[in-house]
Amino acid sequence: MTLPAALRRRFEAVVFDWDGTAVSDRHADATRVRALMEACCAEGLNLVLTSARDIGDVDAQLGARPSGPGTLRLAVNRGAEVFAADADGVRLLPRRTARAAEQNAAAAQTAGAPASPLATEARRVEIGLNDPADAARWILEGLWSLGIGPSQILVCGAASGSVGRDALVSAPGVTAVSVGAASDGMPAGVLSLPGGPVRFAEILADQLTRRRRRDPPSVGDETGWAFSVPAIDPRSERAAEALLTLGDGRTGTRGSVVVVVPESAPRVLVAGVYRGHGPETELLAAPLWNIIATNAAARGASRRLDLHAGTLWQAVETDAGVVEAAAFASLARPGTMALRARAPADVVSAEQGLLDADTQEAIAGPARVAEDPGSIAAALVEDRSRQDDGGVRLERVAGYTWQAHGDASMPWAEERARSAARHGYERLLRDHRRAWASRWEVCDARIDGDDELQLAVRLAIYHLVASTPADGEGPVGARGLTGDAYRGHVFWDSDSYMLPFHAATNPPSARAMLQYRVARLPGALQEAKVRGRAGACFPWESAEDGREVTPTAATLPSGEVVPIRTGDLEDHIDADIAWAASSYAAWTGDTTFAHGPGRDLLLHTARFWASRIAVEGARSHIHGVIGPDEYHEDVDDNAYTNVMARWNLRAAARVVDDSIHGWEREAAHWQRLADALVDGYDPASGIYEQFAGFSELEPLIIAQLADRRPVSAPLLLGAERVARSQVIKQADVLMLHYLVPGEVAAGSLVPNLEYYEPRTAHGSTLSPGVHAALLARACRPEEALQWLCVAARIDLDDVGATTAGGVHLAAMGTVWRTLSWGFAGLSPGADALIIDPRPLPASWGSLDVGVRYRGTPVRIRIDPAGVTVAPAGPIDVLLAPTGHREHVGSAGTRLVVPEPQGRPA
């Protein structure tokens, strides 16, 4: 029998009733269905059997012992108990309390998709679930933790309802079919396909066939998780490719159409692997694994990136028919990628293989690109087969190796591809999906009430994760691995804007980012000497060897050549790196780092400042810098630079006091210098002057001059006028309130926000999100929301027409921080997680953010009535508004927050 269209696709999980659907009754012979189930699991399909009967009964009849990679779960006793069956036998899985189920239900409502199973894991105890609806939710959550969403699930036998039928079939996106008699009283939306166990066996057999003939997997389409690009638009194709990039933290593959299109700029990039020297240093482009060489021309394409599972699906219409493909870069095995495609025979008629990055011509066999100093080797295991549905299936498993300095090993790349191919496509997919799902369990941020913003927030989080390695050195360029802009150079974007997300959610990634700096400390010590300074002087733009790679000049569209002085003058990078190290240590409590390389960073940057500061009478100064506001160059006493230097000196002096002998005199000197540093603060107005003389500049208010912001003020007004005016490019003084609120005068946030925000062009993508966070801290949620939306849509709307060169990861970092710190007020205290929430925008029902404090994952949910804290293990929290400290056990707790209005920081 031909199955209805809704079933003629690959599902990633099948949930089915045992009695009446899989077998006719308790005495029926289950040999055939057992064989089918085991075969399906062996091909990666996940199965969940539900039954009102107990495990002994069901297992005696079924006796399935699948070896995977697909899982088999048995939700028996009407779902009151769940067992896993595998090659080792049948074992009971831990169950949850009804309270945990309630909280998850609330969270699921918030997310519009299954809640994170984190809270469930945290509170499982040995009592049964009485309500079958809880079991249904448990099933959805369990599959979600495998990276499988409702849109990838087929529910069979919904009519008998041995677990919460309605909860299962009403999950948005689930496909439900009943094989029972038509009169079973099925809920709306359930397909009727009478035929009982015979029909069910046909459905399973069909799923097995699809897997055996290597159909591309189904890719999730959940609301709030699926980012879609429905067509090829030549004007925005390159930006789309950047937004659709697949990343495993170490490698990035732009989400190009699988069949080359003229507008495309496909790229595979590897973190930290560059070619060239000095300002010309740029990321080396690796051979392409993700493009099919064909003569067929693409007429259109629809692409969808499932953010929860890091998997890209596409259907490309060519003149020879439709090519469907699914691809991923394994988060579980960085350097391993996989692609499956179903294509008309004419499209994939020739031998395939890697493509050259520049010419896009096929390369025979493995390939290596090597251009001093870096190199990348790539190899493919490829399988091309003709299937009886007339099409061709192409399966590729790619292995990449790299060397930042020297020769990448081709044999290793080949072995990486071969061992991954031996592991098998379905296992690779399973491991990859689980890796993403488990990252999301901690780092997801959920906004109830704004689906569009929710998706943009998740896209930001996705790119932060996808662009950042979790071991070794983690150099993260301004655009990560999503494009060539800024040549992959590493700026303060990495330390001050992206690192906070990683420190608070996945510390190994933050540690890797810091390791990149730590490993370049010797170079920074050397650079300081060259510049006649002490300590360490880190470069403003950094690449492979840690030397300054900032270009020294740029050519404007008019042809005019202008000098670039940031490399010489944007010294605040030193304090930014020190701040990143201390932020990581505060979230993690990693004393090995704090007393080792972290301390070195702090001390040597302090030494740099001590030698950079000029003592003039009783006061000390820093002359001739560029602050974050790059419209004004060579200024004296930039408040941001001075206060960050002061913070750096004081933090280093504290470290000496606490743990180092022999440095006391130097530390006392740092203290004196810090105390004497001018900071431009005027207690009468509460305003920090951005730099000496700023207040005398032409008082232009860009908010009144420009139709809309962000705007490029130099384009609007001319660079010279801007330099003579109070128009600023991006948050400068306000970066102090954002990074070191304890180092600025109490009560100074509001006056500085009111003074500087209207003067800010937001000409850098780093700026809107910082303002959003600070407006949230200032209890101005609706204005905060406006800027948050701007920040979250910078790449989606290609606001500056620069997304083709890669997404703006720093801005993405500000999006996350606006939620976690701006609104939720989360920060790492010395012995407790500090929660200091602010009012939410009226349109949000709640905000739910996850962090990892001192190793313990914890979710914090803020709603108008209070805060719910759900840690995975016991932690101490400090509710800042009341000073109330509480030891919260893994069962979670609800804290009441008094009226938050009117308490600006």
Judged by CB under 6 A, how many residues of this single chain contact ligand IFM? 10
Residue 498 or 849: which CB sits closer to ligand IFM?
498
Contact call for residue 237 and ligand IFM (CB under 6 A): no
Q: Is 628 in the site for ligand IFM (CB under 6 A)?
A: yes
- Give the 3-state DSSP-derived string for 187-214, with helices as H, strands as E and coil as C: CCCEEECCCHHHHHHHHHHHHHHHHHCC
Nearest to 492 by CA among 689, 829, 660, 731: 731
Closer by beta carbon to ligand IFM, 72 or else 810? 810
CB 667 within 8 Å of CB 652: yes
Instruction: Please state the closest distance from residue 576 (CB atom) to ligand IFM, in A.
Output: 10
The answer to whether residues 605 and 535 touch, using CB atoms and an 8 Å cutoff, is yes
Residue 496 to residues 241, 475, 579, 734, 747, Cα–Cα distance (Å): 26, 14, 8, 13, 23
Q: Taking the complex as a whole, how short is the minimal distance between the CB of residue 336 and ligand IFM, in angstroms?
A: 30
Residue of 478, 481, 536, 879 interacting with ligand IFM (CB under 6 A): 478
Site string for ligand IFM, 722-761 (x = CB under 6 A): ----------------------------------------
Structural contact between residues 500 and 509, judged by C-beta atoms closer than 8 angstroms: no
Residues paired with residue 728 on neighbouring β-strands, in sequence order:
760
In this chain, which stretch among 80-88, 156-164, 485-493, 750-758 interacts with ligand IFM, using CB under 6 A? Answer: 485-493
426, 570, 630, 757: the catalytic one is: 630
Cβ nearer to ligand IFM, comparing 260 with 713: 713
**Which of 768/881 has CB closer to ligand IFM?**
768
Annotated catalytic, 630?
Answer: yes
State which residue, 310 or 763, has the beta carbon closest to ligand IFM: 763
| CB 254, min distance to ligand IFM, A | 19
Instruction: Identify whether the C-beta of residue 186 lies closer than 8 Å to the C-beta of residue 158.
Output: yes
Least distance in angstroms from the C-beta of 693 to ligand IFM: 22
Closer Cβ to ligand IFM, 735 or 750, answer by number: 735
Considering only residues 769 to 798 of the shown chain, the ones binding ligand IFM according to CB under 6 A are: none
| From 229-237, 490-498, 542-550, 768-776, span contacting ligand IFM (CB under 6 A) | 490-498
**Between 462 and 497, whose beta carbon lies closer to ligand IFM?**
497
State the minimum distance, in angstroms, from the CB of residue 527 to ligand IFM: 19
We find the least distance from the C-beta atom of residue 848 to ligand IFM, in angstroms, to be: 30
Per CB under 6 A, the segment of 423-431, 484-492, 514-522, 850-858 that binds ligand IFM is 484-492
Q: Where are the alpha helices (DSSP H) in 150-260?
A: 165-169, 196-212, 237-243
Cβ atoms of 734 and 637 within 8 Å: the answer is no
Give the closest residue to 16 by CA, choosing from 124, 148, 174, 141.
Answer: 174
Q: For 158, which DSSP code? A: T
- Write out the two tokens for 136: 């249904």
State the binding string over 871-900 for ligand IFM (x if CB under 6 A, else -): ------------------------------
Of the candidates 18, 328, 492, 640, which one interacts with ligand IFM according to CB under 6 A? Answer: 492
Q: Which two tokens stand for residue 552?
A: 């020294």
Torsion on CA atoms 263, 460, 438, 271, rounded to nearest 10? 60
Stretch of residues binding ligand IFM (CB under 6 A), selected from 57-65, 165-173, 405-413, 489-497:
489-497
State how far the Cα of 744 lies from the Cα of 748, in Å rounded to an integer.
7
Backbone phi and psi for residue 822, each to the nearest 5 degrees, phi listed first: -55, -55
At 369 the three-state DSSP class reads strand
Angle at the Cα of 711 (from 710 to 717), degrees rounded to 5?
155
Q: Please tell me whether residue 728 adopts helix, strand or coil conformation.
A: strand
Q: Is 159 in the site for ligand IFM (CB under 6 A)?
A: no
Shortest distance (Å) from residue 477 CB to ligand IFM: 9
Measured from the CB of residue 628, what is the shortest distance to ligand IFM in angstroms? 6
Choices 136-144, 466-474, 488-496, 737-745 (CB under 6 A): range interacting with ligand IFM: 488-496
The residue type of 760 is T
Q: Is 764 in the site for ligand IFM (CB under 6 A)?
A: yes
Stretch that binds ligand IFM, among 51-59, 272-280, 487-495, 643-651 (CB under 6 A): 487-495
x/- binding map, residues 43-82, to ligand IFM, per CB under 6 A?
----------------------------------------
Tokens of 132: 């079958």
Interaction residues for ligand IFM, span 630-649 (CB under 6 A): 630
Q: How many residues does the chain have?
A: 905
Among 17, 141, 382, 493, binds ligand IFM (CB under 6 A): 493
C-beta of 456: minimal distance to ligand IFM in Å?
Answer: 19
Give the range of 421-429, 491-499, 703-711, 849-857 binding ligand IFM by CB under 6 A.
Answer: 491-499
Q: Which long-range contacts (CB under 8 A, 24 or more apart) does 230-238 make?
A: 230/302, 231/300, 231/301, 231/302, 232/257, 232/261, 232/263, 232/298, 232/300, 232/301, 234/262, 234/263, 236/798, 237/261, 237/263, 237/264, 238/263, 238/264, 238/265, 238/483, 238/803, 238/804, 238/805
Q: Of 570 and 590, which has the nearer Cβ to ligand IFM? A: 570
Judged by beta carbon, residue 282 or residue 848, the one nearer ligand IFM is 282
Q: Residue 812 CB, nearest distance to ligand IFM (Å)?
A: 12
Nearer to ligand IFM, 486 or 670 (CB): 486
Binding status of residue 766 toward ligand IFM by CB under 6 A: yes
Segment holding 620, helix H or strand E: strand 619-621
Output the smallest distance, CB 513 to ligand IFM, in A. 15
> Which is closer to ligand IFM, CB of 577 or CB of 870?
577
The strand pairing partners of 283, in sequence order, are: 274
Q: How far is the CB of 305 from ligand IFM (least distance, A)?
A: 23
Q: Give the H or E element holding residue 508.
A: helix 507-519
Q: Which residue has the tokens 């733009």?
A: 541
Distances in whole angstroms, Cα of residue 79 to Cα of each of 14, 51, 59, 162: 16, 7, 15, 7
Listed ranges 373-381, 486-494, 697-705, 734-742: which one lies at the site for ligand IFM (CB under 6 A): 486-494
Nearer Cβ to ligand IFM, position 499 or 897? 499
Q: What is the dihedral of CA 112, 116, 121, 126, to 10 degrees?
A: 0
Handedness of CA 873, 104, 456, 763 (dihedral sign): negative
The 3-state secondary structure of 810-879 reads HHHHHHHHHHHHHHCCEEECCCCEEECCCCCCCCCCEEEEEEEECCEEEEEEEECCEEEEEECCCEEEEE
Judged by beta carbon, residue 286 or residue 774, the one nearer ligand IFM is 774
237, with CB counted inside 10 A (0-12, 13-18, 19+), is buried
Scan residues 807-826 and list those touching ligand IFM (CB under 6 A). Answer: 810
Could you tell me the CA-to-CA distances from 295 to 318, 345, 625 in Å, in that order?
A: 10, 12, 55
- CB 734 → ligand IFM: shortest distance, Å? 13
Nearest-angstrom CA–CA distance, 230 and 832: 46
Catalytic residue numbers read: 630
Interaction site with ligand IFM (CB under 6 A): 478, 486, 491-493, 628, 630, 764, 766, 810
